[in-house]
Amino acid sequence: MSVAATTSPAFGTLYVSPSPRSRGTPRVTMALRSVVSVGSILTKLQQDCATPLPVIRHVADSMTADMRAGLAVDGGSNLKMILSYVDSLPSGNEKGLFYALDLGGTNFRALRVQLGGKEERVVATEFEQLSIPQGLMFGTSEELFDFIASTLAGFAEKESKKFHLPHGRQREIGFTFSFPVKQTSIDSGILMKWTKGFAVSGTAGRDVVACLNEAMERQGLDMRVSALVNDTVGTLAGARYWDDDVMVAVILGTGTNACYVERTDCIPKLQGPKSSSGRTIINTEWGAFSDGIPLTVFDRDMDAASINPGEQIFEKTISGMYLGEIARRALVTMAGEGSLFGRAVPNKLSTPFALRYILACD
């Protein structure tokens, strides 16, 4: 007599067979090939991801050096250390109707807020959020900005009676654009390059505020961009509205970035008149940092297959746009070498970025 019983593929197969020495008494053997294989992959992954104190210190020192080099001169390091031209932050006394537009990742948001000063603070808010169609992430500049302006026009038409615009005033909008921009003033900036999986043609080297203004004109939308900010700068300003001690903002979403308040006398590349406050917000664009960051084979393979190999390494190791893909590649390897899911790799798992939208949180 022989009996075979199969367990979960992750734990191998249990075979029960008669022993020639025991006159039919079963002998139990377990094949653990898959467990050993998956275990070794996970052990290697853990080793490659390790961040002992010396590694953390090296990464911190390298980032500090890159920040100083970026403040000294444009192009001084991988960290752009972009001047935001935001030299003063909210005090809580602000009043009126304001619109905001946020383009920073897989989602696009439009918002309006009625501010009532320190006594009433935020009187009313309304917002809409839409996912950016995949095709627009690889389309033309006009297509992308027309989509944004069209959505914004529809949103403005639904303005309720809770919001009040003084007679004769034009609606103002703050444009949060979370991609590397060389800002030339508070309301203008030249796109340096697309990140976070975007590859829109016809925008790099152009003023993104002009792109939005032109699209709003095509939609017949009477609105003026009063400020262009990065999402980190917007986050810092929003937090400062409630807490005067806020000095740093960090974004962990589709991508990653950080900004902070810097003294103007610590920015050698800042030319011309200094702000009266003596301070300004610096947009670090730290997603481009790479020196000393521990990388696994899955990180390297994903980077090589990306639309911008060798760039945005820090962003690719910690942000929602890429974490799902790194996990997918590790699972595919464990499935192929360790039969994690049985004899075949699930079809859906073979699709690049299949886990992207599960982990993206922007």
Catalytic positions, written as ranges: 196, 231
The candidate with the shortest Cα–Cα distance to 179, out of 109, 134, 228, is 228
Angstrom CA distances, 156 to 103, 109, 128, stand at 17, 13, 11
Rounded to whole angstroms, how far apart are CA atoms 136 and 116?
37
DSSP code at position 319: S
Query: What is the residue whose two structure tokens read 């734990």?
Result: 11
For residues 37-71, one letter each, b for 16 or more C-beta atoms within 10 angstroms of the residue's C-beta and e for the rest, the string is: bbeebeeebeeeeeeeeeeeeebeebbeebbeebb
Long-range CB pairs of 180-183 (<8 Å, 24+ gap) are 180/80, 180/82, 180/285, 181/82, 181/208, 181/228, 181/230, 182/74, 182/82, 183/82, 183/83, 183/84, 183/85, 183/228
DSSP helix/strand/coil, 105: coil
Beta bridge partners of 174: 100, 227
For residues 73-83, one letter each, b for 16 or more C-beta atoms within 10 angstroms of the residue's C-beta and e for the rest, the string is: eeebbbbbbbb
Rounded to whole angstroms, how far apart are CA atoms 329 and 297?
9
With beta carbons less than 8 A apart as the criterion, state whether 65 and 320 touch. Answer: no
Task: Collect all residues with Cβ–Cβ distance below 8 Å to 8 and sequence separation of at least 6.
Answer: none
Tokens of 156: 């403005």
